[in-house]
């Protein structure tokens, strides 16, 4: 279980480059720019480098095709600049002033920030899908041109848009690496909830989004969508099998999500502008097959006072001071009724307090449990998240427990009236002194092997659901327990996994009682003898100055 992640290496034009080295070089160029701002500076340029690389790769390919057709000289240049030759192949058209070679040649220009803004504008102008979705505030940030030029030179060292690089998803890996590094650098003050890749992988592997509609109403940079697409492709599907819907209230993060999805060719409807999912639901009538989300939990300023009569609060009006049960009911509201793809299932991260909170939240939780919507609850280990130290858990909510609608012929048993509890708090391996991850995140298998954290949790859940090919499910003391609604009610409608799974047997319990008692008595006698000797030595020392233990009253 001590899985070690291999160093993330990506191929440059001439050599292997460790993104850690690229990160360190880029971070040195940051100067006085806040990490939360510099994130958009760097990732915007990485996106620009990608589409420029892809454009140049298509241009070289087109030149070869035209040459083979006998076209050359002055005839070939206009054809190489034909926009349709690129867009027809799914390649963004990059006008001359936006090409990477142009920017790098002007790397020491005193107005480099404005040149980058102009390049972004030209790309938006010529690619309607990107209109309004790229960062165009490099000049406003007032970063010295020599620093921007140095950053451009650093990013230029990686070929990230070539055919080979796209096949290896080099850009995606670098992009995710940088997102994680920025989240770590911003820490708890970053204001955004970056979901660790191991947690996203666990959520996706559990609910299995093969095909259908996927929704994340707090999508951040779009990581849930990326992992869903990977899952579909790993199981013989394609990007076209999933329809992606999302929403994000932070304007810069909303742009980041569009870039993150665009570089992977993922079509997504994230609304025509950033918006808050509570006060302005951009997809009010949307019913989806899968929801994957890590919303900003425990927030008090969610405009709850303005939404007292909202149609989404079917199970009770959420308290004004905490948005947790507003999010939970928002997810339930958007789940599709039972169908051939699983009957609307949601997986989301939530603060542990949501499992046992009192007052109005307790009543809402009771109503959701009585409606038989809670499929599974997983208690996660500490130190998984970069941006919050709050203990968290995973909720899995579904509109269908009959087992009749699992996708891809998975089958399933009727589990109505039951909820699975998994206590994974003692899982995980330390990546750094302060950051933990679930093992199995980097496995090429789907699901990961059962001797990894993710594999064990996923296969336990699938066995409980009764999927074809899964093992026979059995409760495991200290780890998993299938409880009935009546059992949950007897516990006061609390959903804390530890309440149900019990305590795990200690490995030392295998020692025979008589042997253990003899060992403990021997150790105690030895410690008492040492204590007597120490007391004697101390008393002798004190006696030399006319003071002993007998003087102490």
Provide mean pLDDT across the span 147-164: 81
> CB-based contacts of 357: which residues, under 8 Å, 6+ apart?
322, 324, 365
Instruction: Please report which confidence band the pLDDT of residue 7 belongs to, taking 50, 70 and 90 as the band edges.
Output: very low
pLDDT of 33: 76
Candidates 3.40.50.11540, 3.20.20.140, 3.90.1530.30, 3.40.50.150; correct CATH number of 193-501?
Answer: 3.40.50.150
Cα gap 16→136, rounded to integer Å: 31
Provide mean pLDDT across the span 389-408: 84
pLDDT in tens, 428-471: 999 888 889 999 998 889 889 999 999 999 999 999 999 988 99
Backbone region of residue 61 per phi and psi (left: phi > 0; alpha: psi in -120 to 50; beta: other values): alpha
Answer whether 166's CB lies under 8 Å from 92's CB: no
pLDDT in tens, 298-307: 899 999 999 9
pLDDT of 1: 38
pLDDT of 551: 47
pLDDT of 103: 94
Q: Name the percent of the chain lying above pLDDT 90.
A: 50
Provide mean pLDDT across the span 133-159: 87
Cα gap 315→328, rounded to integer Å: 10
Say what the pTM is. 0.77
pLDDT of 506: 58
Instruction: Please report which confidence band the pLDDT of residue 16 belongs to, taking 50, 70 and 90 as the band edges.
Output: very low
DSSP per-residue codes, 160-179:
-SSHHHHHTTHHHHHHHHHH
Give the strand order in the sheet containing 242-246: 268-269, 242-246, 212-216, 290-293, 345-351, 392-398, 374-379, 418-423, 480-484
Residue 270 buriedness (CB in 10 A; 0-12 / 13-18 / 19+): buried
Greater confidence, 194 or 126? 126
Cα gap 197→203, rounded to integer Å: 10
Cα gap 386→198, rounded to integer Å: 12
pLDDT of 260: 81
Count of CB atoms within 10 A of residue 398's CB? 23
pLDDT in tens, 303-354: 999 999 999 999 999 999 999 999 999 999 999 998 766 579 999 999 999 9
pLDDT of 291: 96
* CATH architecture designation of domain 10-188: Up-down Bundle (1.20)
pLDDT in tens, 179-200: 667 766 665 443 345 688 899 9
3-state secondary structure of 285: coil
pLDDT of 167: 61
Is pLDDT above 70 for 491? Answer: yes
In the beta sheet, which residues pair with residue 224? Answer: none
Domain with CATH 1.20.1260.30 in the chain: 10-188
Give the helix ranges, DSSP H, for 29-144. Answer: 35-68, 76-80, 84-87, 100-105, 112-126
pLDDT of 141: 85
Domain with CATH 3.40.50.150 in the chain: 193-501
pLDDT of 514: 61
pLDDT of 543: 65
Greater confidence, 387 or 158? 158
The gap between the terminal CA atoms of the chain, to the nearest Å, is 56
pLDDT of 15: 35
pLDDT of 505: 65
Cα gap 304→320, rounded to integer Å: 5
Q: What's the Cα-to-Cα distance from 147 to each of 153, 157, 225, 544, rounded to whole Å?
A: 10, 16, 33, 72
What's the mean pLDDT when you consider all of the chain?
84
pLDDT in tens, 409-418: 677 899 999 9
Provide mean pLDDT across the span 164-188: 64
Instruction: Please report which confidence band the pLDDT of residue 220 belongs to, taking 50, 70 and 90 as the band edges.
Output: confident
> CB-based contacts of 14: which residues, under 8 Å, 6+ apart?
none
pLDDT of 257: 87
Is pLDDT above 80 for 70? Answer: yes
pLDDT of 444: 86
Is pLDDT above 60 for 31? Answer: yes
pLDDT of 408: 63
Cα gap 254→449, rounded to integer Å: 35
């Amino acid at each position: 279980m001590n899985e070690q992640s291999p160093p993330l290496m990506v191929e440059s034009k001439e050599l292997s480059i460790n993104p850690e080295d690229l990160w360190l070089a880029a971070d040195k160029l940051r100067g006085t720019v806040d990490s939360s701002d510099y994130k958009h500076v760097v990732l915007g340029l990485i996106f620009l480098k990608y589409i420029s690389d892809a454009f140049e790769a298509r241009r070289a390919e087109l030149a070869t095709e035209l040459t083979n057709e006998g076209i050359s000289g002055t005839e070939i240049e206009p054809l190489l600049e034909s926009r349709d030759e690129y867009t027809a192949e799914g390649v963004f058209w990059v006008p001359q002033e936006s090409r990477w070679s142009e920017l790098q040649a002007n790397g020491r220009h005193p107005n480099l920030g404005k040149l980058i803004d102009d390049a972004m504008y030209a790309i938006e102008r010529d690619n309607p899908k990107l209109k309004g979705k790229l960062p165009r505030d490099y000049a406003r940030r007032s970063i010295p041109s020599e620093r921007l030029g140095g950053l451009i030179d650093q990013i230029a060292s990686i070929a990230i848009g070539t055919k080979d690089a796209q096949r290896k998803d080099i850009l995606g890996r670098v992009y995710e690496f940088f997102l994680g590094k920025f989240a770590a650098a911003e820490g708890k003050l970053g204001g955004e909830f970056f979901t660790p890749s191991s947690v996203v992988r666990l959520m996706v592997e559990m609910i299995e989004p093969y095909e259908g509609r996927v929704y994340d109403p707090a999508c951040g940079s779009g990581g849930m969508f990326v992992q869903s697409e990977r899952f579909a492709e790993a199981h013989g599907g394609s990007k076209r099998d999933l329809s992606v819907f999302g929403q994000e209230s932070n304007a810069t993060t909303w742009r980041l999500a569009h870039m993150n999805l665009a570089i992977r060719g993922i079509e997504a409807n994230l609304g025509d502008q950033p918006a808050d999912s509570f006060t302005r639901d951009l997809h009010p009538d949307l019913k989806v097959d899968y929801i994957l989300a890590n919303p900003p939990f425990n927030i008090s300023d969610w405009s709850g006072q303005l939404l007292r009569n909202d149609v989404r609060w079917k199970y009770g009006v959420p308290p004004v001071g905490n948005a947790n049960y507003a999010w939970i009911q928002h997810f339930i509201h958007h789940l599709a009724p039972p169908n051939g793809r699983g009957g609307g299932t949601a997986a989301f991260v939530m603060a542990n307090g949501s499992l046992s909170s009192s007052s109005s939240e307790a009543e809402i939780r009771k109503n959701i449990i009585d409606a038989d919507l809670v499929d599974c609850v997983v208690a996660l280990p500490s130190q998984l998240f970069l941006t919050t130290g709050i203990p968290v858990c995973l909720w899995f909510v579904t509109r269908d427990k009959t087992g009749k609608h699992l996708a891809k012929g998975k089958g399933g048993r009727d589990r109505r009236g039951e909820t699975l509890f998994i206590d994974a708090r003692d899982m995980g391996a330390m990546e750094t002194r302060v950051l933990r991850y679930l093992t199995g995140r980097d496995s090429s298998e789907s699901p990961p092997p059962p001797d990894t954290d993710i594999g064990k949790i996923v296969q336990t859940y699938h066995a409980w659901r009764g999927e074809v090919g899964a093992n026979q499910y059995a409760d495991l003391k200290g780890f998993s327990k299938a409880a009935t609604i009546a059992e949950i009610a007897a516990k006061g409608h609390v959903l804390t996994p530890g309440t149900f799974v019990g305590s795990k047997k200690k490995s030392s319990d295998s020692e025979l009682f008589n042997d253990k008692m003899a060992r403990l008595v021997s150790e105690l006698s030895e410690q008492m003898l040492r204590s007597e000797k120490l007391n004697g030595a101390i008393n002798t020392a004190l006696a030399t100055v006319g003071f002993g233990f007998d003087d102490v009253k």
